[in-house]
Amino acid sequence: MTGVNGDLTRLSLNQETIKQWSLPELAEGCVKAGVPGVGLWRAPVQEYGVEAAARLIRDAGLTVTSLCRGGFFTAIDPAERAAALADNRAAIDEAATLGTDTLVLVSGGLPPGSRDLFAARERIADALAELAPYAADRGVRLAIEPLHPMYASDRCVVSTLAQALDLAERFPAEQVGVVVDTYHLWWDDTVATQITRAGAGGRLASFQLADWITPLPEGVLLGRGQLGDGSVDFRWFRERVDATGFTGPIEVEIFNPALWARDGAEVLAEVADRYRTLVL
């Protein structure tokens, strides 16, 4: 299902795309622009107050399409693992309060001194086994997001959609799904097959957009590009995601200081225009 006549009925604005906006500004701006969904991040939501944020977004008539983030499951130290599990239970509770059924997971990189990717992924599976039933009881699905391989050492040892599905498929589909993020997956020549696999198994929990631009900035984390400024074929991704029967929100999540330095309403108008011309 695509938008009709370029409408924005599936568009969601991730909070980090216009980081300069407060939560009230985000709600007001999305309502004015006709954008029905928002993806939220835990730190600014906690600062505002989780229940207050839930009320603000609900009263604005908006939908929270995802909460980011849980994860970081790869620690070896028992105390660190226990702390991560406790933090993820808190994240699940926050997602439930906000009314979203999707908690995005950034699974964690290699612990200091370790080079064992396989063991790190097994620790992710162990954490999911503990957390998935807890999340399901609260109406929240855990969504494993594969990150580009350049983040494997420090942020996420899950680098491909196939790896994410290999983990997710150990659990019921209603408990653990996956995220398709164009920024992280555009380079993978198996991604079409894996999107089909995810759809067939009912695993598609979230679909996110950002462009890949080069040269990458120092630190690489804040190098996501505005739609259309880089190498990603967004319509190609959208068509393959839609072909699975996925009709959920399409969330634009961009980390870019140049966008944060601009007027938020101007950035949102540009996002909406690029979405209409490049995605639909």
- Per DSSP, the residues of 103-170 read EEEE-B-PPTT---HHHHHHHHHHHHHHHHHHHHHTT-EEEE----GGGTTTTBS--SHHHHHHHHTT
How confident is the model at residue 241, as a pLDDT? 98
Task: Name the DSSP letter for residue 174.
Answer: T
How confident is the model at residue 1, as a pLDDT? 36
Task: Name the DSSP letter for residue 62.
Answer: -
End-to-end CA distance of the chain: 10
pTM for this entry: 0.96
How confident is the model at residue 46, as a pLDDT? 98
How confident is the model at residue 6, as a pLDDT? 74
CA separation for the pair 72, 88 (Å, rounded) = 9
| Tally of CA atoms within 13 A in the half-sphere of 91 that contains its CB | 28
Contacts 24+ apart (CB under 8 A), 88-96: 88/127, 88/131, 89/131, 89/134, 91/42, 91/67, 92/131, 92/134, 92/135, 92/138, 92/140, 93/138, 94/42, 94/45, 94/46, 94/50, 94/67, 95/67, 95/138, 95/140, 96/138, 96/139, 96/140
CA separation for the pair 100, 66 (Å, rounded) = 6
CA separation for the pair 132, 150 (Å, rounded) = 27
Contact 66, 13 (CB under 8 A): no
Neighbours of 32 (CB within 10 A): 11
Per-residue pLDDT of the chain (280 residues; tens, 9 = 90+): 344 457 999 999 999 999 999 999 999 999 999 999 999 999 999 999 999 999 999 999 999 999 999 999 999 999 999 999 999 999 999 999 999 999 999 999 999 999 999 999 999 999 999 999 999 999 999 999 999 999 999 999 999 999 999 999 999 999 999 999 999 999 999 999 999 999 999 999 999 999 999 999 888 899 999 999 999 999 999 999 999 999 999 999 999 999 999 999 999 999 999 999 999 9
How confident is the model at residue 4, as a pLDDT? 45
| Tally of CA atoms within 13 A in the half-sphere of 141 that contains its CB | 22
Contacts 24+ apart (CB under 8 A), 266-270: 267/17, 267/18, 268/13, 268/18, 268/29, 268/30, 268/33, 268/35, 269/33, 270/226
Residue 9 falls in which region: left (phi positive, over 0), alpha (psi -120 to 50) or beta: alpha
Residue 255 CB partners (closer than 8 Å, separation 6+): 16, 19, 210, 221, 222, 223, 224
Residue 232 falls in which region: left (phi positive, over 0), alpha (psi -120 to 50) or beta: beta
